[in-house]
Structure 1
Amino acid sequence: MPVPSPPPVSHSTPWQPPVRHPFHRFLGALSILLLLVVVGSFGYWALEGMSPLDALYMTVITLSTVGFGEVHPLSPQGRLFTIGLIAGGGVLAAYSAGTAVEYLASGEWRDFLEGRRERRMLKGMKDHYLVCGYGRVGRHVAQELIDQGLRVVVIDSHPEPVSQLKRSEVSALVGDASDESVLTMAGILHAKGLVACASSDAENLLIVLTARLMNPKLRIVARAV
């Protein structure tokens, strides 16, 4: 299976961290909800003299707009407070809906699911070869290994070639190949060999030293620039 040619390297392309769990996108909405519950419960307790449980109950039915009756008739101050609480709930609903729409439209959910699938696949990979750097040399090395029927994981700091490789069903990661966490994700502890194909001797040396410390039995070949 031929691997795609690497695009021209742009050293200004930033390294992109792994996609975060979708829950992080909704932390803001959850924080606002908890704040409204605390403020609402305290307000009903202070203004209406409700018990803590009744104040919490009143806050929940107000924010959820389920339409249940009041615990007891509210004072004018309590009604104004309830109006403000309902308005806060409306703002929260609008914010949550906007966050959900933005998340779905951005395609991050797809990236997250693909990332999970890829991590599971890499976790079970053994006796594979890591190709660190996907320039001209890295491409030829990866192609040669694949032609021999060997399993390959490519690590490159640029997202474009990694995306191309994934579309060609070749395992690949975006990251710094000298980073222990990236090498761990690529399965270095169970790998059979590593080829350092970075664009400078300094990078290749750092990759080799890190890889050797992590897996002393690993077969390592480094490109001399």
Structure 2
Amino acid sequence: MKRLYLFKGLLQPLLLLNSLILAGTIGYILIEHYSFLDALFMTVITIASVGFNEVKPLSEAGQVFTIILILVNLGLFTYFITLLSRYFFDTELVKKYKMIKMENSIQKLQNHVIICGFGRNGKESAQVLHDNKIPFVVLEEKADLETDLPFEVKYFIKGDATKDEVLLEAGINNAKAIIITLPVDADNLFVVLTAKQLNPKVTIISRASQDSSIKKLKIAGASNVIMPDKIGGAHMATLVMLPDVVELISIMSTKNNSDFRVAELKTQQNISLAELDLWKKTNCTILGIKDAEGHYTINPSSSYQVNPGQSMIVMGSDAQIESAKKLV
């Protein structure tokens, strides 16, 4: 099917050519009373302009029909040449080939992130994911991908994120998360419902413009709901009070590399932090713990009892975090 799509633009002139041959054959049969083979032969040599003689002398009606057939063929030939020029000189065929190749690559992705909407919030999300080498697919309906972006977007699909087939094309079944940044809360809600239906395990982060939308989005299946305007205002106010602290937290949350990373570990045992002694054994720092009800304990004490299924937020290098995984 994708190979057919690659040559979709050429199907129309080919259908027109076949229609012209059929019309010419029927015309010669009706006007000149040719046999089918003679009528087909006459039509082909007329369209091909090879210069053979007529099968039989033409009547006046047959001559007029032949003239019309030649003129129509000239128009079709010109259209066909123009289309071929567009394909091979305007790189339309190359663009379609690259798009199909990219779509095939998307279907092979595992644990990637889908970004719905490529406005300000979508671009910021893509920038952070790119900097941390996390594969992502951008879905945008209203505009083509910009050419002057400060980062590379390997996977881009122009389509409506509210449609099942578009999310499936973006690999929702294999995605680990989807970030929804559409400007209208109703559209975000619809994408949340659709994504949750297609992949119940996917983590959903949605944008919201109105306070009243937060509860609806969470009921629909959003893991987290973000209000950019509210967060932006709080961030600016915090910069007044604790500028260095805010800057450090921003670096910790976005500038991950092999030497420094903030990670989330799922605990598999009952043990106190004192017994675990993560800092001494791995040099990882425990920032906080999230329990099964979603409550956070920041900077937990050494007497804190860790239970299976809880999430431990730790800070360290890749090697240190890998060692911590084995312990918890």
TM-score, with structure 1 as normaliser: 0.76
The residue that corresponds to 2:125 in the other structure is: 141
The residue that corresponds to 1:82 in the other structure is: 66
What's the offset of the Cα at 1:22? Answer: 5.7
Within 5 A, what are the aligned runs for 1:17-166?
21=5, 23-104=7-88, 107-161=91-145
The residue that corresponds to 2:247 in the other structure is: none
What's the offset of the Cα at 1:24? Answer: 4.3
Secondary structure of the residue aligned to 1:194 is: strand
The residue that corresponds to 1:196 in the other structure is: 180
1:62–1:86 Cα contact (<8 Å) kept: yes
RMSD over aligned Cα atoms: 2.8
The one-letter code matched in structure 2 to 1:101 is S
What's the offset of the Cα at 1:206? Answer: 1.9
Gap change, CA 1:204 and 1:86, over 3 Å in 2: closer
What's the offset of the Cα at 1:116? Answer: 1.0
Q: Which runs of 4+ in 1 moved over 6 A?
A: none
Gap change, CA 1:216 and 1:48, over 3 Å in 2: same
The one-letter code matched in structure 2 to 1:40 is G
Which structure's relative contact order is higher, taking Cα pairs within 8 Å and 6+ residues apart?
1
TM-score, with structure 2 as normaliser: 0.55
Gap change, CA 1:137 and 1:77, over 3 Å in 2: closer
The residue that corresponds to 1:5 in the other structure is: none
1:165–1:171 Cα contact (<8 Å) kept: no
What's the offset of the Cα at 1:49? Answer: 2.4
Per mean C-alpha deviation after superposition, the further-off stretch among 88-97 and 75-84 is 75-84
2:130–2:152 Cα contact (<8 Å) kept: no
Where does the alignment leave 5 or more consecutive residues of structure 1 unmatched? 1-19
What's the offset of the Cα at 1:209? Answer: 1.2
The residue that corresponds to 2:192 in the other structure is: 208
Where does the alignment leave 5 or more consecutive residues of structure 2 unmatched? 208-225, 228-328
Gap change, CA 1:63 and 1:135, over 3 Å in 2: closer
2:6–2:97 Cα contact (<8 Å) kept: no
The one-letter code matched in structure 1 to 2:52 is F
**Paired residue total:** 206
More strand by share: 2
The residue that corresponds to 1:171 in the other structure is: 155
